[in-house]
Chain A
Amino acid sequence: MDTFNYSILILLFPAIFFIIIGLFGKYMKPIVAGTLGTISLSVITILAYITAYQYFFVVGTGADGAYQAINVFHFEWLRFTDTLHIDLGMYLDPISTLMLVVITTVSLMVHIYSLGYMKGEIGFQRYYAFLSLFSFSMLGLVVATNIFQMYIFWELVGVSSFLLISFYYVKPSAVAASKKAFIVTRFADFFFLVGILVLSFYTKTFDFEVLTTVGSPVFASFAGASFLGISVLSWAMMLIFMGGVGKSAMMPFHIWLPDAMEGPTPASALIHAATMVVAGVFLVARLFPIYVFQTPEVLTIIGYVGGITSIFAAVVACTQTDIKRVLAFSTISQIAYMITSLGVSGWGGHEGLGYMASMFHLFTHAFFKALLFLGAGAIIHAVHSNEMDAMGGLKKYMPISRWTFLIACLAIAGIPPFSGFFSKDEILAAAFHHDLFLFACLFIGAGLTAFYMFRLYFRIFHYENDKVYHHTPHEAEPSMTIPLIVLGAFSAFSGFVPFSKLITTDGKPFEAHIDPLVAGLSIGVAVIGIAIAFVMYRKKTSIPDQIVEKIKWLYTGAYHKFYFDELWLFVTRKIIFARISIPIARFDRRFVDGFMNSLAYVTNATSEAIKGFQSGRIQQYAFVYLLGALILIIGFTFSIWQLIC
């Protein structure tokens, strides 16, 4: 399709600027590198909006009333056999177009914001290079034409996340966090890779277009293949989902995300809130036809993983005192909403409400969560601490941050008319009609979300109104507040985007309307959550301590994140290291190395024993030579004599 030719630039720009800033950044002034990165992002943001406009409104729906998937650009990269080849390209369909808009918008905001936030940091240019790398990889991920290209970019976002978390590489905690994030996600990606290989072994293709066609014949070859009583296709899809579990920080692989907050706050906003962590959601959405038609049982598991994670993370978020960690757990919880929503979705029209709602929530969540993180960054910038105890009464010092933060809190709590209300309501409606247990999880989670977000809000901006600061906090500079205002506008109004007209399971628009029962319930629970937070944290009171005293076991458990880190440490240290790795290492040292060492030892000992022969005394040499000659002569004479006689 020629009309979309320019959209390849969306990928090329960040890649080129990554190379330019990465290689020549140290010869630039920091502000030059930052401006270059920001300009490149502005250009591709404009291009992404043009692409989206053209895709949805100019090209529009095809003959069958559905949005068509378009291969903008496609070439064969590696050819192994006739059927097995890895392609690269650019694939536009409703969800990848949506993701282009989300990623470029949030990334641009983060680029602008970082100009102020990162000012004076060592490695400013490096930071911008990594941001460009991340933007490139994430955009490549969403427009991948085939699952292998997706995997390549999937790993690239993992690397850029690693690089940005360890941006302050002189801080041991940042280094540890980056390693943790990389290893945990990489561990999950291992399952993803196995899943890809199993899937493509049977279907003989990596191509999304073939895989996601409804009623595609490629799955016929799976017939009858089963492993441990479960069909191989289910295994493959389950393993692929594991990759998403790692990247999207679902249970039990969520442990890396709270630690990843060691990175610079704008990078957390971009990677660990708005874009990279939703890659798992995007993955499931991309392969949704396979899940819904071929392996509905895996889809059920997906729903339950999401449901349990959402309520778990919401409970933990209520007890954390580091504001970035609260936001991290909130992110886990909100992504779990999207995952659950996919899990309860069906196919086609109103049945596919969950799918639409998931993408809708992804869209709105990206804005308000990025806003929350950037707002938290502004606050951290002002008070130089992540801890709630160091804050309080900031409303009079930082009005812009306060109002935008409030908008984001209202949006995430699901108060109409802010964006989160619409998307969360669709999710709850989808769950309500599908599975009441999941609905209960999400419903309680919604109340907790409202509670912990407003706990955060009141603790930061109210609480101790007369708190005395060493340095009086002041509002951040314009480069930081402008993104806050822009994202605030997005958070407030993006709920009015008619999503059911744009993004649906089968591409055909349908009419979604708000279910008054579910909407009423969700607003009610959100208001209750906010009211509790208001009572507990509007002023400094003893109520929180009294409640903690009553439910001490729950509080302690949640405060320690239900000991998941300890559990993983136990599994890795005591079981994997002690029972598997150390014996293998010992075998390697004793036997493999031992054999090689013994070869060297024998050689060494032999030469040690005979080195006396090489004395340098010519007469000794001559004597040995003479002896040898005599022995030879005697031997020859003797044998000739025997021959003759």
Chain B
Amino acid sequence: MGELITSFLSGGPIPMFAYLIVSTLMFFIGVYGFLSRKNMLMVLISIELMLNAADINFAVFNRYLYPEQHEGLFFALFAIGIAAAETAVAIAIIINIYRNVKSIYIDENITEMKN
């Protein structure tokens, strides 16, 4: 920790694990949101957070471990694209659910698909 602060204050390069701490935090915030939120939009945002944390990891590992290659960066780009498409689909589903039951909350209102 002391090394991190020293490096930060001296204007040197940011060490890898600083990024990893950020991405881990983001991932677990996403997990928490996914498990605890009842609003479907918030659940969707939480999923996006988890995906973005994974994207950061791709980029960071690529940049620090294999600086002369770019697979990780492209992987992150693909993941962003797929996430965008997935979000579009999810939003469409949520809008349809809203039209049917006038609610976007995951609770006892939505039991149509059960059984």
Contacts and interface: CB of A to CB of B under 8 A. Distances in A.
Chain A bound to chain B: yes
B102 to A, nearest CB: 21
A623 B106 CA distance: 15
B35 A623 contact: yes
Nearest to A617: B106
Q: Is the interface of B mostly helix, strand, loop or mixed?
A: helix
Nearest to A626: B31
Interface in A598-634: 616-619, 622-623, 626
B106 A619 contact: yes
A619 B114 contact: no
A626 B36 CA distance: 13
Contacts of B36: 619
Contact of A619 (B35, B111, B113): B35
Contacts of B43: 619
Interface residues of B, number: 9
Contact of A626 (B35, B106, B113, B114): B35
Interface in B30-49: 31, 34-36, 43
B107 to A, nearest CB: 9
A238 to B, nearest CB: 70
A515 to B, nearest CB: 95
Nearest to B113: A616
A622 B31 CA distance: 9
Nearest to A620: B35
A623 B37 CA distance: 12
B83 to A, nearest CB: 18
Contacts of B34: 619, 622
Contacts of B114: 616
Nearest to B37: A619
Contacts of B35: 619, 622-623, 626
Interface in B18-39: 31, 34-36
Interface residues of A, number: 7
A619 B31 CA distance: 10
Interface in B54-107: 106
Contacts of A626: 31, 35
Interface string A114-126: 0000000000000
Contacts of A622: 34-35
A251 B36 CA distance: 88
Contacts of B113: 616
A617 B107 CA distance: 9
B31 to A, nearest CB: 6
A619 B110 CA distance: 14
B90 to A, nearest CB: 13
Nearest to A619: B35
Contacts of A616: 111, 113-114
A617 B105 CA distance: 12
A622 B36 CA distance: 11
A618 B35 CA distance: 9
A622 B111 CA distance: 18
B49 to A, nearest CB: 14
A619 B34 CA distance: 7
Contacts of B31: 626
Nearest to B36: A619
A31 to B, nearest CB: 64
B86 to A, nearest CB: 16
Nearest to A615: B114
A617 to B, nearest CB: 8
Contacts of A619: 34-36, 43, 106
A619 B40 CA distance: 11
A616 B36 CA distance: 16
A618 B34 CA distance: 10
A235 B44 CA distance: 90
A76 to B, nearest CB: 64
A164 B36 CA distance: 80
Nearest to B111: A616
Interface centre among A617, A618, A619 (most CB of B within 10 A): A619
A623 to B, nearest CB: 5
A623 B33 CA distance: 11
A618 B90 CA distance: 15
Contacts of A623: 35
Nearest to A616: B114
A622 B35 CA distance: 7
Nearest to A623: B35
A108 B56 CA distance: 105
Contacts of B106: 617-619
A626 B35 CA distance: 10
A616 B113 CA distance: 9
A619 B43 CA distance: 10
Nearest to B28: A626
A617 B114 CA distance: 9
B54 to A, nearest CB: 15
Given A618-B106, A619-B34, A622-B35, 12 more contacts: A616-B111, A616-B113, A616-B114, A617-B106, A619-B35, A619-B36, A619-B43, A619-B106, A622-B34, A623-B35, A626-B31, A626-B35
Interface of B: 31, 34-36, 43, 106, 111, 113-114
Sorted from nearest, which 3 A-B pairs have the closest CB atoms?
A616-B114, A623-B35, A619-B35
Interface of A: 616-619, 622-623, 626
15 contacts: A616-B111, A616-B113, A616-B114, A617-B106, A618-B106, A619-B34, A619-B35, A619-B36, A619-B43, A619-B106, A622-B34, A622-B35, A623-B35, A626-B31, A626-B35
